[in-house]
Homo-oligomer: A and B are copies of this chain.
Amino acid sequence: MKTKELGIGLLGFGTAGAGVVEGLQRNGALLAERLGVKLVLRKIADLDLDTDRGVTVERALLTRDAEAVVRDPNVDVVVELIGGTGMAKKFVLEALKLGKPVVTANKKLLAEYGTEIFSASAAAGAPIHFEASVGGGIPVIKALREGLVANHIKSIYGILNGTCNYILTRMEREKLPFDAVLKAAQAAGYAEAEPSLDIDGHDTAHKAIVLASLAYGSTVPLAAAHIEGIRGLAAEDITDALEMGYRIKLLGIVKRGASGVSVRVHPTLVPLQHMLAAVDGVFNAILIEGDLVGQTLYFGRGAGRQATASAVLSDLADVARDRAAGASHPLALPGQASAGLHAQATGAELVRCYLRLALLDKPGMLARVAQLLGAHQISIASVMQKESSIGNHVPVVIVTHEAPEQAFQQALAAIDQLDIVGAPTVRLRIEDFA
């Protein structure tokens, strides 16, 4: 049998794009053997054609004209690794309109314009693949869409941003403040010069939205997500949480409640014996619970040129198999399935919390706080008071039982008004994964 070919047009020759080219050069023969289809790079578009990417490509493959790449009849599939929502969106929609399958790693694009892009894909009968958009090389999109296709998804908890996890790991191990570790991470190339997308939780939210859309069959609007990053996190909270048996992780959390789907991103106390607590450094992990399968977890390198290439190439392999078959029948895309649910307003969901208060160092102070918590139906699970003090105040850590999110908001508003409280109370959420 003559080996078939799949012509690839690559948009974006940055780190991820160069990784795909390198991966193809290195393992293209293996892929051809496994697939019975040869993946052939036909064109690479980038505005910058001069920077050395550490891979050698024929000059004739390179062009600044992305539009021409999309339209090139020898290009069967378009790989979008430009990033962002400007040019990337334009070319993705153009490719789909031409009936060409698209492979992308662009979580921001999918989180912000998922409805438009998924309907363009459905209308044109051209599939869109996005394994590299979440969890780097971990095949979690495939696991969720295909492997767990028979399950109603109950919840998803993900460590989805390697930069944040790297910073949290170093803050804990080296007992350093956030700012110092961020600077070190930037110097080491693990954080961007403009780090907001990562550390303020937006990237995690984009990925959580992509997972939520797949799990529940309708795109969840980004505006409905609750997003907190790790910027304000104090080193002492990491230490105190550890003493109480928890490790702090930035989690993207997707849950289906009675009234809809909620998407939340915030620093979270994870019990030390839980597997997610063992995920350190730049690694990612995603815990998915289905009604049949129970809890499953997927772990691996969440970013990096080779891991991303592994995911992009697996998407190309799926496209290649469809093309070799001469037909495909894709799974329903978000926005099309009638099971679609609207995002739940935060407030009613039950949460457990870690509270760190700065209380005046006098007898009876804790009782006043406990009374106020009780008045909002929040009961206390454990308390830790340290000998250290800041001025006239001592830090007191309280771990609570479960109560509605809004009860905490109201109770803390009242507590922080008390004259015995010396600084705004720090509140972090605890997850027990029950």
Contacts and interface: CB of A to CB of B under 8 A. Distances in A.
Interface of A: 23, 26-27, 30-31, 33-37, 131, 136-139, 142-143, 146-152, 217, 273, 275, 278-279, 285, 290-301, 304, 306-307, 309-311, 313-314, 317-318, 321-322, 324-332, 337-339
A331 B325 contact: no
Given A149-B313, A150-B310, A150-B313, A329 B325 contact: yes
A350 to B, nearest CB: 25
Given A35-B332, A142-B142, A309 B292 contact: yes
B332 A310 contact: no
A307 B337 CA distance: 24
Contacts of A23: 150, 292
A327 B304 CA distance: 36
A332 B317 CA distance: 12
Contacts of A299: 275, 296-299
A325 B127 CA distance: 13
A26, A138, A279, A310 interface centre (most CB from chain B within 10 Å): A310
B338 A27 contact: no
A27 B322 CA distance: 27
A296 B142 CA distance: 14
Nearest to A27: B150
Nearest to A23: B292
Given A27-B151, A33-B337, A321 B313 contact: no
B332 A324 contact: no
A340 to B, nearest CB: 10
B275 A293 contact: no
Contact of A146 (B37, B142, B217, B275): B142
Nearest to A24: B150
A304 B292 CA distance: 10
Given A275-B278, A327-B327, A33 B296 contact: no
Nearest to A299: B297
Contacts of A329: 36-37, 321-322, 324-325
A30 B293 contact: no
B317 A149 contact: yes
Given A27-B150, A295-B301, 5 more contacts: A137-B293, A147-B311, A148-B310, A275-B299, A292-B310
15 contacts: A27-B152, A30-B152, A35-B149, A131-B147, A138-B147, A142-B147, A292-B313, A293-B300, A293-B306, A294-B301, A295-B300, A295-B301, A297-B297, A299-B299, A321-B329
